[in-house]
Amino acid sequence: MRFLIENNKIFPQKFTSNGSLRISQFPIIPQPALKPEFSYNPALQQFLTGKQLLFEDIPFPFDEIQTHYENGYITYRKGIEYQGKLPVCTRCGNKDPQLFGAFQCARCGETCIYCRHCIMMGRISECTPLFGWNGPEPDTELPAKIMGWSGTLSAGQQLASDQVVEAILQNKEWLVWAVCGAGKTEVLFAGIEAALAATKRICIAAPRTDVVLELAPRLKSAFPDIEIAVLYGGSEDRHVYAPLTIATTHQLLRFYHAFDAIILDEVDAFPYTVEESLQHAAIHARKSESALIYLSATPNQK
Ligand SMILES: [Zn+2]
Ligand SMILES: [Zn+2]
């Protein structure tokens, strides 16, 4: 895909000969102002809110995406940015020159540099825009009773639970020590309830799919009337907009400024600590005003 700038907007072009550029070649991508009178597509809003997706991830025609961009409702970002002459992947933060490749690209008609590091989530190259939502967020309706769990916590767990609530409500960064495996998830329940009650969008991210699969039914039974998106490689909830998301840390790479609170489970476990791109993912998936809670069993040496 190539673009031309006209009237402070970019427009897609099919041919290479007319002065068009790849998206990474624009110094700044103009963002049209939001036009309140434009009637946006709520399905597209649900789909794109808090995301950064490739065109092939989005089941809507390009013309519709472009119209939403021209009316200020969709953002286009560069898939690959340059720091000096060195490419940086916008999605995963990869800066290692050895983790970029080059190919003859049919979309832009040139040799295109692409990120090899996050290619399992679809190829990002110099001509790849990342699409996001710039309009209002979808409304979420809350059930009368948010939490169905009514168990009790030990004194130590209660203290940790109170700290999680406070961190979430005050947008703090907080490290919670899990004293032992038992009751670790229950320590989060009050914080999740408080976040949902305050119409915050919350995500619990864990390094491995098996942890996500184990957490999901426990959260579904604690919050029976809340829609929960469960995201891992190959999961069917990939495009569900939900107030509560449980995801592998890898899946956070598809989110951008999405969550008011992120809880990172097992921050000491492989592969989170060894994978800087997953830290990048968590940072980018947060809103600028948000809480980040680390759940750990052992101190990180870093
Ligand atoms: Zn290309
Ligand atoms: Zn990448």
Model confidence at 62: pLDDT above 90? yes
Nearest bound ligand to the CA of residue 250: 2
- How far is Cα 244 from Cα 215, in angstroms, rounded to an integer? 12
Tokens 């999740």 found at: 192
Q: How far is the CA of 114 from the centre of ligand 2 (A)?
A: 8
Radius of gyration of the chain (CA): 21
In tens, the pLDDT along 6-47 reads: 899 999 987 666 789 999 999 999 999 999 999 999 999 999
In tens, the pLDDT along 154-213 reads: 888 899 899 999 999 999 998 887 665 557 889 999 999 999 999 999 999 998 899 999
Where is pLDDT greater, at 178 or 108? Answer: 108
Q: What protein residues have CB closer than 5 angstroms to ion ligand 2?
A: 89, 91-92, 94, 115, 117-118
For the chain, the structural domain boundaries read 2-133, 155-296
Nearest bound ligand to the CA of residue 88: 2
Task: Give ∠ CA 69-75-76 in degrees, rounded to 5.
Answer: 100
In tens, the pLDDT along 221-246 reads: 999 999 999 999 888 877 789 999 99
- How far is Cα 252 from Cα 273, in angstroms, rounded to an integer? 15
Q: How far is the CA of 166 from the centre of ligand 2 (A)?
A: 34
User: In the prediction, which pLDDT does 209 show?
Assistant: 93
Would you identify the CATH topology of the domain 155-296? Rossmann fold (3.40.50)
Q: How far is the CA of 71 from the centre of ligand 2 (A)?
A: 29
* pLDDT classification of 301: cutoffs 50, 70, 90: very low
By the 10 Å C-beta count (0-12 exposed, 13-18 middle, 19+ buried), 83 is classed as exposed
Q: How far is the CA of 250 from the centre of ligand 2 (A)?
A: 11
